[in-house]
Amino acid sequence: MSPAPTSRRAVLRGATTGAAVLAAAGIGAGPAHAGPAHAGPGRAGFTNPVIASNHPDPGILATGDWFYLYSTAGSMGHMPVLRSRDLISWEERGNAMPVIAAWSTAGRHWAPEVIAHGEQFHAYYTARDTASGRQAVGVAVADHPEGPFVDDRDAALLVQAEEGGAIDPSPFRDEDGQLWLLWKNDGNAAGLPSYLYAQRLSEDGFELVGERIRVLERDQPWEIYTIEGPAVISHRGRYYLFYSAGEYWNESYGVGVAVADSVAGPWRKLSDTPVLAANDVAAGPGHGMPVRTRTGLWYVYHAWDPEHIGQDPGRLVWLSKVRIDDDGVRIDGPSIDNPQRPVR
């Protein structure tokens, strides 16, 4: 195992194939690196990883006929964006945020998630707050899912410097239309505890309002180092919070799920072990997002090649089926060969 790095996210070198180099040049640079032997149109299954290049912390936006994937900064720029019609075959579209906010410092833009808001799109993302020296949450706006996203605020939406900073923002629109933001305080970066928080957003999505609620903490043996990467989905009248814990730079990283009757909680973890964990084909699976399709729920997440943990090609993007029933939540895999594929 590699020793813990000095910051939460190591800046990993991107893949150096021709397509990756072209993608760094701008939008429409070519197809993303796909996994080997993908099933063609009309075939039932698919092969993982669905993106075989470095795209940590994938967040998914479903709008129109497309899925858009956003990831932590890399060779494509501050906010890499890819698109797909089926969650399997991805096309690199470039850097969705070419100009960073005045309050931020370049080089530490992480884990963006995008939500449709009226005729626009809001990207909630993590960046280094120059004033505090801590990671903070910002919100940027665009007229198109591919950007350009612009954050013209003088200050971050959320800094939480007294708790080590704030990272991993995840917006959620409840069934009544209320907007929420979930995130993690970056306590482990400052020798402090880390928690998952939830708070309501204003109607325009630009301010946090109401009570700030601490919704989850590390309280199970497998949840070493930190808890992070929250993402909520509603299903049959209940709410499911997918989160990650462990050391993201090795095989200890995995995914847990909690359930509640409202976003405000209380939340109850469904298992004392991860519902998605490392195996012989994928190491450190996690920090993903559940996605609803006509063939049910799927989880899009990153994982290392077990033979190249902490090395190129970085954290690759995987896709697994999610099953929710009376016995809890199961996430298939990680599996290279999968018999069923999503249908948009």
Report the pLDDT value the prediction gives residue 9, as an integer from 0 to 100.
36
Query: Rounded to an integer, what distance in angstroms lies between the CA atom of residue 40 and that of residue 33?
Result: 16
Report the pLDDT value the prediction gives residue 26, as an integer from 0 to 100.
31
Backbone angles phi, psi at 11, to 5 degrees: -85, 105
Query: Rounded to an integer, what distance in angstroms lies between the CA atom of residue 68 and that of residue 315?
Result: 18
Q: Which residues of the chain have pLDDT under 50?
A: 1-31, 33-42
Query: Rounded to an integer, what distance in angstroms lies between the CA atom of residue 132 and that of residue 147?
Result: 28
In this structure, what DSSP letter does residue 35 have? P
Which residues face 213 on adjacent strands?
198
Which residues face 214 on adjacent strands?
197
Query: Rounded to an integer, what distance in angstroms lies between the CA atom of residue 291 and that of residue 59?
Result: 10
Check if the beta carbon of residue 30 is closer than 8 Å to that of residue 23.
yes
